[in-house]
Amino acid sequence: MVDLSGKIALITGASQGIGAAVAKAYASAGAHVILLARNKRKLERIDDAIKALGGQATLIPFDLSDSDNIKNLGPLLQERFGKLDIFVGNAAMLGTLGPLTDISAREFNQVMAVNVTANFLLLKTLNILLKASEAGRVIFLTTGVDIVKGHAYWGTYAVSKAAVESMAQVYAGENEQSNIRVNIIDPGAVRTDMRSKAKPGEDPMSLPAPDDIMARFLELTSNDCQYHGEILKV
C-alpha cells in the first residue's frame, strides 16, 4: 500500500466516476485531496465519503472552461499549502460522437477548452508547486480508442486525447532532470457516466467500477516511481 501521508493531491473532475475514486483512494492513503469539479453538490457528497474514511479534502467548485481564472489556482494553493505533490488531470468532456465535419466549431472549441487548454493552463499555474514537492507526480488520462491512427466517429474527444498525450510527453521530456514524474493512464472500459453515453448498448455491470482500478493510480504517486513519459494501461 502506497503511503501518501503529508502529500497534497489535486484531482480534476473529482465529483464522480474515476476522479471521485482517485480522490477517495488518495485520501485513504493519507493525502489531503483537493477536489475540483463544476458540481458543488456532488463534490460535497464525495467530501462526506472521504470524511467517513477518515480523510481530509478541500473543495473547489470550478468550471474548467473558464480559462481566464485557472491562472489564479496556483497562487491560491501556494498560499494555502506551499506545494503540490500530485496532480491528476482527469476532467474531460465527451462531446458528440459522429462525423468530424458534422461537429460545430463551437462544440469543438468547448471540448478542446476543457480537455486540452485547461490542462495546459493548469500545468502552467501548478508547475512551481510541483517543483516545490519532494516528488511531484502528474497523471493524465487517455482513452483506449486508437487515437494514433485515428478512430472514425469519435470526433473531438479523440482529437483532444491525442493532444493530451502529446502535451504530457512534452512536459515529461522537459522534466527529465527534475523531481517531477509525468505519466498517462489508459483506464480501459470502466463503469462511468461517460462510458454509458459513448456505449449506450453496453451492459455497465459487465465493466469494473472506478474503485476497482485504483492500483495503477496509487503506484504512480510513490516516491520511487520509475515510470516517466509513459502511457500505462490499468
Q: Is residue 28 part of a domain?
A: yes
Percentage of the chain beyond pLDDT 70 is 97
Q: Is residue 1 part of a domain?
A: no
Q: Is residue 101 part of a domain?
A: yes
Q: Is residue 130 part of a domain?
A: yes
Give ∠ CA 104-204-187 in degrees, rounded to 5.
70
Domain count of the fold of the chain: 1
Give the torsion sign (CA, 149, 155, 157, 159): positive
Look at the block and give the residue holding cell 480508442.
Answer: 145
Instruction: Kindly tell me if the per-residue pLDDT of 98 is higher than 60.
Output: yes
Percentage of the chain beyond pLDDT 90 is 89
Average pLDDT (53-74) is 96
Average pLDDT (81-99) is 97
Give residue 98's domain range.
8-233
pLDDT level of residue 199 (50, 70, 90 thresholds): confident
What are the catalytic residues? 157
Residue pLDDT, tens place only, 124-177: 999 999 999 999 999 999 987 655 566 789 989 999 999 999 999 999 999 999
Whole-angstrom Cα distance, residue 168 to residue 161? 10
Average pLDDT (79-102) is 97
Query: Residue 143: its pLDDT value, please?
Result: 87
Measured between alpha carbons, how far is residue 209 from residues 40, 191, 214 in Å?
23, 5, 10
What is the total residue count of the chain? 234
Look at the block and give the residue holding cell 462526506.
Answer: 48
Q: Is residue 3 part of a domain?
A: no
Query: Residue 140: its pLDDT value, please?
Result: 98
Helices (H), 183-222: 193-198, 214-219
Of 16, 60, 62, nearest in space to 38 by CA = 62
CATH number at residue 184: 3.40.50.720
Q: Is residue 202 part of a domain?
A: yes
pLDDT: is 28 or 155 the higher one?
28
Residue pLDDT, tens place only, 201-233: 899 899 999 999 999 999 999 999 999 999 999
Of 28, 29, 63, 59, nearest in space to 46 by CA = 59
DSSP string, 161-185: HHHHHHHHHHHHHTTTTSS-EEEEE
Q: Is residue 160 part of a domain?
A: yes
